[in-house]
Amino acid sequence: MKGNKISAIILVICSLSIAFLAGKEFVKNREPEIIVKGKGVTEVKMLSDFFEGVKGTNADTEVYILQGKEKGGTALVLGATHGNEPSGLMGAILLIEKAEVEKGTLYVIPRTNNSGLTHNDPQEGSPQRFHIKTKNGERWFRYGSRATNPLDQWPDPDVYIHASSGQSLSGNETRNINRAYPGRADGTFTEKAAYGITELIKKNNINMTIDLHEASPEYPVINAMVAHDKAMEIASTAVMNLEFENISIGLEPSPVSLRGLTHRELGDFTNTYAILMETANPSQGRLRGKTDEKLVLTGIDPTYVKAQKLGRLFVPFDEKGHSLEERVGRHIAGITALINAMGELETEKAMVIKNVPSSLEIKQNGIGYYLNEIK
Ligand SMILES: [Zn+2]
């Protein structure tokens, strides 16, 4: 009897310690990474300034505004729609910290689904943070989840029905902001966040919206832009100009039957040119090997080299992998090309943005070279 009691006490202590350590790690993801706004940022607003309904919730998120002295076009860049796709978060942060707008206005939301960055996906083995070396020491950023944190929205229904189309998807997609557009003012947490973005676009007459994503190397739509019908001419001009810079990027029309996504709904429900971009992220792929911070940063994975040899992938994949620098460089080059193409085709929507590095410069110097010092 005495022995049983001692074992029970030991077991209770062990489980409490595990719960404490796991809880501590979970809470760690709620602390946001620091973003040091650059000289180009003229104002920082919150999503709740455009839609009250997200005020005081985890869906409220920073909107960085870079307004040029001269009037011109307006563009919105969405980072971290999906928290497990780090090139989008880092591409947006690079713009906030470095870009300077001379003509037109650039809006950047680095944490589009802010809640998705406060946790990561169970059983995926994803790191919670990744670190980037800068001239002034190391900085860390979160590796989050594709979906809203269940603490903010729970439980999931068996079937998720997209409000404006009636399309049904698997229940867990109810927490995917990129299935929730155009959103609903009185909807779920995720629908409200999407509604806030739609309101921002309408209220500020945003000419172009670029949503930054990543996908696993075995996913068919990769290293690509997906453009709404109305944005097709701009996107094809941009893709052609990127070819001259030796950046090969595919172009897909936004499927009419796939609902809730930025490139479909924002194009249908607002006047914005809606485009989504994808880069290849092995750390979210199903065929990946060891999952750690190194994989997020280097994109080097021998199992993907093997998969490439077996003809299973939609992107070239060799021993050099696809580094975060390369992926952020592709996003930045894509944004630059799209904004330039809009100005070429419609002069009244022209924008001039300075101090944005080229994809080659980002690859050579690293992302950290373009990040500011935390003071
Ligand atoms: Zn995504």
Lowest-pLDDT choice from 68-82, 213-227, 332-346: 213-227
CATH number, domain of 306, equals: 3.40.630
Mean pLDDT calculated for residue range 94-102: 98
In angstroms, what is the span from residue 150 Cα to ligand 1's centroid? Answer: 18
Q: 25 in a domain, yes or no?
A: no
Q: Report yes or no on 16 lying in a domain.
A: no
Q: Radius of gyration (Cα) for the chain, nearest Å?
A: 21
Please tell me whether residue 271 adopts helix, strand or coil conformation: coil
The answer to whether the beta carbons of residues 215 and 242 sit under 8 Å apart is no
pLDDT exceeds cutoff 80 at 133? yes
CA of 165 to the centre of ligand 1 (A): 21
91 CA to centre of ligand 1 in angstroms: 14
Domain-embedded: residue 21: no
Does residue 9 lie within any of the structural domains? no
pLDDT for the residue 222:
78
Residues lining ion ligand 1 (Cβ < 5 A) are: 82, 85, 213
Q: Is the model more confident about 331 or about 25?
A: 331
| Ligand 1 midpoint to CA 276 (Å) | 9
CA–centroid distance, residue 147 to ligand 1 (Å): 10
Is the model's pLDDT at 2 over the cut of 80?
Answer: no
The reply to whether 138 falls in a domain is yes
Burial class (CB in 10 A: 0-12, 13-18, 19+), 165: middle
The pLDDT, as a whole number, for residue 1 is: 62
Q: How far, in Å, is the centroid of ligand 1 from the Cα of 218?
A: 14
Residue whose pair of structure tokens reads 């505004």 in the numeric block: 65
Task: Tell me what the mean pLDDT of segment 320-333 comes to.
Answer: 97
Q: How far is the CA of 178 from the centre of ligand 1 (A)?
A: 8
User: Distance from the CA of 162 to the center of ligand 1, in angstroms?
Assistant: 18
Give the count of domains, the chain: 1
Question: Domain for residue 105, yes or no?
Answer: yes
Q: What is the DSSP letter of 19?
A: H
Distance 100 CA to ligand 1 centre (A): 27
User: What single string gives the DSSP state of each residue in 151-218?
Assistant: TTS-PPPSEEE-TTT--EEEGGGGG-GGGTTT--TTS-HHHHHHHHHHHHHHHTT-SEEEEEEEE-TT
Residue 258 Cα, ligand 1 centroid: separation in angstroms?
14
Ligand 1: distance of its center to the CA of 81 in Å?
6
Q: Measure 352 CA to ligand 1 centroid, in angstroms.
A: 28
**Residue-wise pLDDT tens digits, 307-317:** 999 998 888 89
Give 157 Cα–ligand 1 centroid separation in angstroms: 21
The answer to whether residue 73 is domain-embedded is yes
Q: Is residue 13 part of a domain?
A: no
Mean pLDDT (the chain) is 96
Q: Whole domain around residue 104: which residue ranges?
A: 31-370
Q: What does pTM read for this prediction?
A: 0.96
